[in-house]
Amino acid sequence: MTQSKQCREWSDLPRIAWVTGAGKGMGRALALRLARENWIVHVSARTVDDLEELAKEAEGLSGQIHPKPLDISDADACAETLQAIISEGPLGLVVLNAGTHIPTPAKDFQLDDVNTLIDVNLRGTVNCLAPAMQTMRDQGFGKIGVVASVAGYKGLPSAAGYSATKAGVIALCESLHPELKAEGVSLSVINPGFVRTPLTDKNDFPMPFLMEVEDAVTCIMKGMSRNTFEIAFPTRFVLILKLLRLLPDWLYFRITAGMVR
């Protein structure tokens, strides 16, 4: 039986990172935090202007930010982007943050909307994860963080497509984690609740335990530095949702029926 390798400590990683979904919100804040801590951060998003503004904002920091525009629904482009990054040195950290949300209530269930969520949140994540995993398996070290959501714990009204894709991402990471750990690669699934970002600013409903983006980034950095598998926040909201997951169906649906009303 092959002996498992130890995952490298945070301080021993090459300080080269790749962050997707870095144009706005949590990915942008994470990239800036890493750059402040002397990382060379390659950032991807579809909007070139957002990435260029981010790189300009990072000027003068101890690290660097390099824009790598990317549509994660294009698998070949994802692989090519990663090859361009590792041509500059070994990769220490990948955070796959790109994703989107579209309401999918039963009364207005649009197939195109669900397929968009699948293409971005699930297929797009896999398009980036596959080459990142292979790179780090070849290296024998590295840390990967994949952003899912607490909405993946259990199906939520009006979020059928979103919950389904995030549940898929969580299951994907649960399956891969022990295999990658045995090869010295640390895989974390990041499950945020409500974080104040341009995406959540569009919500027209109450968002319990709304968290500031810098606090969310602190949770991510702390969890990944400790090789934590599930990095979930804010704590009180996570605990409530995990308790709901344990309820029998009849009681869970009684509670969510109130959300429909």
* Whether 17 contacts 93, CB under 8 Å: yes
| CA-closest candidate to residue 99, choices 19, 31, 217, 29 | 19
DSSP secondary structure of 222-248: HHHHTT-SEEEESHHHHHHHHHHHHS-
Whether residue 193 has pLDDT greater than 80:
yes
Domain housing 182: 12-260
Q: How many helices (H) and strands (E) does the chain have?
A: 9, 7
Whether residue 199 has pLDDT greater than 60:
yes
Percent of the chain with pLDDT strictly greater than 70: 97
Q: State the pLDDT at residue 259.
A: 80
| Number of independent structural domains in the chain | 1
Distances (CA, A) of 61 to 37, 65, 184: 8, 9, 31
Tokens of 6: 């130890």
- 30-45 pLDDT per residue, tens: 999 999 999 999 999 9
Q: State the pLDDT at residue 201.
A: 65
Whether residue 3 has pLDDT greater than 70:
no
User: How far apart (Å, rounded) are the C-alpha atoms in residues 241 and 151?
Assistant: 9
Over residues 179-192, mean pLDDT: 98
| CA-closest candidate to residue 7, choices 186, 129, 174, 178 | 186
Q: Is residue 1 part of a domain?
A: no
Q: Is residue 199 part of a domain?
A: yes
- 202-221 pLDDT per residue, tens: 766 677 888 999 999 999 99
Over residues 47-60, mean pLDDT: 96
Longest dimension (CA), the chain: 57
Residue carrying structure tokens 């344990």 = 246
Name the amino acid, one letter, at 217: V
Name the amino acid, one letter, at 201: D
In which band, very low, low, confident or very high, does the pLDDT at 2 lie, cut at 50, 70 and 90?
low
Helices within 58-124 (DSSP H only):
75-86, 111-117
Of residues 162, 194, 233, 237, which has the active-site annotation? 162
153 CB-near residues (< 8 Å, 6+ apart): 167, 170, 191, 241, 242, 244, 245
Whether residue 112 has pLDDT greater than 80:
yes
* Whether 87 contacts 19, CB under 8 Å: no
Q: Is residue 106 part of a domain?
A: yes
CATH number at residue 63: 3.40.50.720
Q: Is residue 79 part of a domain?
A: yes
Whether residue 88 has pLDDT greater than 70:
yes
Q: Is residue 132 part of a domain?
A: yes
| Residue 162 annotated to the active site | yes
Percent of the chain with pLDDT strictly greater than 90: 90
| CA-closest candidate to residue 207, choices 194, 198, 196 | 194
Q: State the pLDDT at residue 133.
A: 98
Q: State the pLDDT at residue 260.
A: 79
Residue 90: CB atoms within 10 A of its CB come to 15
Over residues 1-24, mean pLDDT: 89
Over residues 215-244, mean pLDDT: 96
Over residues 58-71, mean pLDDT: 96
Helices within 87-212 (DSSP H only):
111-117, 125-139, 160-182
Q: Is residue 3 part of a domain?
A: no
Whether residue 1 has pLDDT greater than 50:
no
Q: Is residue 88 part of a domain?
A: yes
Q: Is residue 7 part of a domain?
A: no
Task: Name the average pLDDT for the chain.
Answer: 94
Total-model pTM: 0.94
| CA-closest candidate to residue 14, choices 139, 115, 155, 193 | 139
